[in-house]
A = this chain, B = another copy of it.
Amino acid sequence: MGAKIQTAVLGATGYAGFELTRLLVRHPELQKPLLLKRESGSCSQDLTEVFPALSGNGGYPLESFSIEKMKRAGVDLLFLATPHELSRSLVPDVLKAGIRVIDLSGAWRLRQAEHRAIYQFEDKDAALASEIMDVAVYGLPELHPVAIKSAALVANPGCYATSVILGLAPLAKAGWIDRSRGIISDSKSGVSGAGKEATARTHFVSVADNLAAYGVFRHRHLGEMVEQLGLSAEELTFTPHLLPIPRGILSTLYVSLSQTMTASEVENCYRKFYEGKRWVRVFAPPRLPEIQYSLQSNYCDIGFCLADDGRRLVVVSCIDNLLKGAAGQAVQNMNLMYGWNEAEGLQ
């Protein structure tokens, strides 16, 4: 057994960063992670102040972020659970210091500049940013396992994007979607997906006993979905909704098949595509996934229902937005990067 790897987390006081820290602490191949905070960020000294659930196993001190400090601590891999603007500005120097990065923000996910407009980046050095973008790998392990393995910078996918891309990829790659008729993703997410900031939108009384659609036609994750699926933006209509639950995503995907198919053919398409993929579970009809099934796990659950006409297909895809949609997927990516079992630290 080799020496244990040293990781660091910037942004452990957010929901995804906390979930990630919990996973890293128990991961058998890792030393205790270094927890970093921005100067302007949380004034807490220890993560247990923010998340008392973590207490009972000693402290989790939060230290100010600096590249020097990471070097001294021998950090091999830095996780960024930070706003995308910050990720975008920090990454060049971190990579220069020889530290690999898994970035949970949207800063480095989009290859095509047109999709990136919505993120409103202001790169100080656009040429450098473009150079880095060229080596960044979109960290969806089921699609890009080889590239992830050797990546210096992994752009961890968005939560909605994970559920939608995994739900559609087998059909898209097989060319079985009649794209001319449009694809629809009606997605629903728990509130932790909206982040930890207290707003009128995340107030308990606004969310409970409610359901609301938002960001129709203009959600940030739309870009990565169409890029990864090889679609044009007009071919995919994506409507997110805010569910009155803390966590979990269910995407209901509507597809017109380019030819008449049987349920068995559809099922085989999915099974074949995900053969050997540890963290995707394909459900046999008529069973459909529900949000509860994948909660607290790193699974993406996929099921479907085919109309009698053999053309109209409804696919249901579920994940835990904080695990397969964020922290769990980040750990899965790390496992690939260091050649460990893909399930290490995730069971």
Contact = CB atoms under 8 A, between A and B. Distances in A.
Nearest to A312: B237
Given A211-B245, A252-B213, A293-B52, A312 B182 contact: yes
Contact of A210 (B199, B281, B283, B291): B291
A260 interface: no
A290 B212 contact: yes
A186 B316 CA distance: 12
Q: Which of A15, A188, A205 has the most CB of B within 10 A?
A: A205
Q: Contact residue range for chain A? A: 35 or more
A133 interface: no
Stoichiometry, copies per complex? 4
Given A210-B290, A307-B234, A246 B205 contact: yes
A198 B209 contact: no
A248 B295 CA distance: 17
Interface in A271-319: 281, 283, 287-297, 299, 305, 307-309, 312, 314, 316
Q: Which of A15, A52, A200, A214 has the most CB of B within 10 A?
A: A52
B203 A196 contact: yes
A205 B192 contact: yes
Contact of A56 (B191, B237, B292, B299): B299
A340 interface: no
Interface in A63-80: none
A53 interface: yes
A163 interface: no
A31 interface: no
A252 B239 CA distance: 9
A181 interface: yes
Contacts of A200: 198
Contact of A209 (B199, B246, B307): B246
Sorted from nearest, which 5 A-B pairs have the closest CB atoms? Answer: A186-B186, A216-B305, A212-B290, A198-B198, A204-B207
Interface of A: 15, 26, 52-53, 55-56, 181-182, 184, 186, 188, 191-192, 196, 198-200, 202-214, 216-217, 234, 237, 239, 241, 243-248, 250, 252, 254, 256, 281, 283, 287-297, 299, 305, 307-309, 312, 314, 316, 347
17 contacts: A15-B205, A26-B347, A53-B293, A53-B295, A182-B312, A186-B186, A196-B203, A196-B205, A202-B203, A204-B204, A206-B292, A209-B209, A210-B245, A210-B248, A212-B288, A239-B314, A244-B245
